[in-house]
Structure 1
């Protein structure tokens, strides 16, 4: 199959799974540095996997988001809420229109390189919390990209209707070592184990039947 796609990859579980699952179709991987608390730790993972797969990888700075956007994810580790991954707890971590900005840039890069698709790893578990992960947004953004490019570039988002545990099951079949991915919103050397993303990560790996070798600062309350 032709390598006709750009992928947005953070170095987290979801985009790393997408990277491996569709590696034969990816011509270019993009990681955006927008100054979030976990951005640096994730970025190291993204570089590692792209180098391993021989996929060209670029990092694009979006420093303006850290300067002008309001989100706990753009503040300090102490601003990140702890507890369950739910609407009330995680809403403060929304970076306004983050996926819209990233998809627009990736679309321009795709057209500049003669590519036809932009891959993104949003999933069903994000829908309630993050508006720019929802099916309606992805569909509308894809239509806007098609209308706004000569090549009719589209979004390819195959995980939109499945859960993070389902994604982990894909990764299990692919043999992905998820200890080489990073999720924690606090951005420390080890995953905190207490924030919503750490809890979601633990739950997904447990549901997928994957032994979790991630290093956490605290024990799993459900173990």
Structure 2
């Protein structure tokens, strides 16, 4: 069975790739450039992850998506929300995390990416699209949910001749469980980039950084990325 993976270099996509690679032949990884702040870093780290697994890496530019996106993940004139550990509840969304999600929402981003990846998968005879969707983020990002995965599978049953399916190995996991599973399968987390910003080191203040920091703390291990960076 063959698959194409959507790879942002984030904790979730790197963990999902490592898990899927144990049982599937990963044909290619796709990284999308839609003008996001961390784009350069995501491409750099995704390339290193692909070198680790020995798989083809392709970057897809979506300039038009950057043009129509006005939230802070793309628009540098808007401020990315900074959160604390106390602002985040792993089990359920809060008013603060709902506002944070709204501030970084990109119009139909996952829908666009999955449909592009579906075209690649069908053309290469691949059965699956591997994604890092997970239960924790599904609370504020509905396009990370099991319902969304099932809806996309239904759509692909019509739009692809080979019935491409979405494989989300983290769909029932929170971030702490993801870290533990990623370490178990020896995912190259030293080259996983979760920060919404693209500086030399993670900001450790955006929601994605805070969720990641808490997950490694709960798992009782140091973040390999920070360790490699000497932080």
TM-score by length of 2: 0.87
For the aligned residue pairs, the C-alpha RMSD in angstroms reads 1.9
Q: Higher relative contact order at CA 8 Å, sep ≥6: structure 1 or structure 2?
A: 2
Higher mean Cα deviation, 176-185 or 152-161? Answer: 176-185
Structure 2 match to 1:158:
169
Residue 170 of structure 1 pairs with residue 181 of structure 2:
yes
Structure 2 match to 1:46:
46
TM-superposed deviation, 1:137 = 1.4
Distance 2:42 2:214 in 1: 20
Residue 63 of structure 1 pairs with residue 63 of structure 2:
yes
Gapped regions of structure 2 (runs ≥ 5): 89-96
Structure 2 match to 1:20:
18
Partner residue of 2:4 out of 3, 6, 28:
6
TM-superposed deviation, 1:42 = 1.4
TM-superposed deviation, 1:77 = 8.0
Distance 1:169 1:66 in 2: 34
Question: Is contact 2:14-2:188 (8 Å) kept?
Answer: no
Deviations 1:52-104 (A, max 9, x none): 21111111111111111222101128621101452123321111211110000
SS in 1 for 2:5: strand
4+ aligned runs moved over 4 Å, structure 1 = none
Structure 1 match to 2:204:
193
Equivalent residues in 2 for 1:116-195, closer than 5 Å: 116-195=127-206
Structure 2 match to 1:33:
33
Equivalent residues in 2 for 1:93-112, closer than 5 Å: 93-112=104-123
Paired residues in the alignment total: 215
Question: Is contact 2:196-2:206 (8 Å) kept?
Answer: yes
Deviations 1:144-172 (A, max 9, x none): 01121110111111211211111111111
Gapped regions of structure 1 (runs ≥ 5): none
